[in-house]
Every structure is written in structure tokens, then in C-alpha cells.
Amino acid sequence: MTSLSELREEVWRANLRLPSEGLVSLTWGNVSARSDDGSLVAIKPSGVPYADLGPDDVVVLDLEGRIVAGDLRPSIDTATHLELYRAFPGIGAVVHAHSTYGTAFSQARLPIDCLGTTHADHFAGPITVTRPLSPDEVGEGYEVHTGRVIVEHMLDTGRDPLHVPAVLVAGHAPFVWGTTPAAAVDNAVTLEVSAHMALVTRLLSGGNPPVLESWILATHHERKHGKNAYYGQGEG
């Protein structure tokens, strides 16, 4: 059982990985995580440079967005995170980062197709793009509707959110999730590297790259995430 102070420390560490893994410049990213009982969410404060963050700066809220602990304003994207936690009970952490290649696919409104086993290791299929928000949605609440358009997209495509734990918001950037903060950041790293590899593969293939064979995709993903996974040291 993770205590609240352990949760804040875990979220703090995961936020520090955003710049150290090369996923963000300035303060263009944030990580949140849900408490074990599902009732609370810990998230980066808004606009604070990563180098100035400490575990106690992490803000804790309930799922309706009421602050439970922390003296700072939570991330401006908090309402988006909360929508995802409410809609997807299985996810334990959310990462939002304007990483260069993932963001470029969001801007081009093109899915990151599964072209190889690096992608397949974390995402069991293409990472797809939401529709853009309407003027009304933006007017009523930009951040909450960003969350709703992600949820709508996941439901429309009928996928388990942990099967492909990420989506590209049109004209914006990726949102990525996972069971833990560390796993969600690993997924965000994989999305960014896979996007970079997909760009290069497209350039080499005249814009028409071959997708990975379905049987290789399935096996490569299952050996790490399936019921009989045999990757790693079997912790957890």
C-alpha cells in the first residue's frame, strides 16, 4: 500500500524524468498518478520548472478536482487527467508531454503506425489521433473537453486503454498512460522514439512504409505484457 507521501514522491520522480529523457523543453509536460484506492490524484504544479520541484510541491486532488494537499496550483491540464482517470478505471498514471516527434504526428493528424518491434513492445497497434475540439467545446472548458475527446476516441475505436496506452490529440500533443508513473513515462519514451523511427522509416520508404507483420506484433507485445510474459526479472 502506497502512502500519500510515497505517491507524491513517485510523481515527483516521474516528472523529473520528462526533461532527463529528452521529452520536454521548458515546462511542457506533466505526470500524475492515482492513489491505490482510486480516490485521489497527485499531479505536478502548474508552470514550475522541473529543477525547482520537490515532492511536497506535488498537488493532491480528489477526482472532482478539489485540492486535498499542496500549496500550489495544480497543472493547467489537471481537468484532462481527471477525465481519463474517471473513464478508465485500469490506469494508474497519466503523462502529457509535448515531445517533438509525437507532437509532430499530432500536428500532422497522422497515426503512428506500428512499423516495428520497438513500438510493439509497448503499444499493441497504431497510436491514433482524436478529432479536433469544436469552438463550443473550447469555449465551455478547453481542458475538460480535451479529456472527453480522448475518452470518446478510445470508446469509438473500442480498444482496451492499456492495450494501446496513448492517444494523439489533434493539433496538440500525445497523452500517455500506464499502470504506474514509471510505466507511463516508459510508454511516453517509447511513443517518442517510435515516432522518430516512424518518421525516418517513412522518409526511407517514400511515405509508404511496411507495417509490422501481425504475428510478430502480437508475440513481441505478449512476451512483455501478456499473461505468460517472460521479459524482465518477474517483479510485481
Question: What amino acid positions are annotated as catalytic residues?
Answer: 121, 231
CA atoms of 98 and 24, how far apart (whole Å) = 6
CB burial of 10-40 (b: ≥16 within 10 Å; e: otherwise) equals bbbebbebbbebebbeebebbbbbbbeeeeb
Q: How far is the CB of 37 from a copy of itself (least distance, A)?
A: 29
What is the number of other CB atoms lying within 10 angstroms of the CB of residue 188? 32
Which CB sits closer to a copy of itself, 158 or 232? 232
Which residue type, as a one-letter code, is found at position 55? P
Q: Could you say which DSSP state residue 212 is in?
A: P
- DSSP state letters, 185-198: HHHHHHHHHHHHHH
- Using CB under 8 A as the binding criterion, the count of chain residues that bind a copy of itself stands at 66
Instruction: Rule CB under 8 A: choose which of 92, 165, 212, 221 binds a copy of itself.
Output: 212
Q: How far is the CB of 51 from a copy of itself (least distance, A)?
A: 11
Instruction: Rule CB under 8 A: choose which of 172, 174, 175, 178 binds a copy of itself.
Output: 172
Task: Match 499473461 to its residue by C-alpha cell.
Answer: 227
- Give yes or no for residue 158 binding a copy of itself (CB under 8 A): no
Instruction: Rule CB under 8 A: choose which of 15, 80, 94, 116 binds a copy of itself.
Output: 116
Q: How far is the CB of 26 from a copy of itself (least distance, A)?
A: 6
Count Cα neighbours of 187 within 13 Å in the Cβ-side half-sphere: 32
Please work out, in degrees rounded to the nearest 5, the angle formed at the alpha carbon of residue 167 by the alpha carbons of 227 and 95.
80
The residue range among 59-67, 81-89, 148-156, 166-174 that interacts with a copy of itself, by the rule CB under 8 A, is 166-174
- Give yes or no for residue 190 binding a copy of itself (CB under 8 A): yes
- Give yes or no for residue 52 binding a copy of itself (CB under 8 A): no
CA atoms of 124 and 57, how far apart (whole Å) = 35
Instruction: Rule CB under 8 A: choose which of 8, 96, 98, 148 binds a copy of itself.
Output: 98
The residue range among 4-12, 58-66, 88-96, 228-236 that interacts with a copy of itself, by the rule CB under 8 A, is 228-236
- Give yes or no for residue 74 binding a copy of itself (CB under 8 A): no
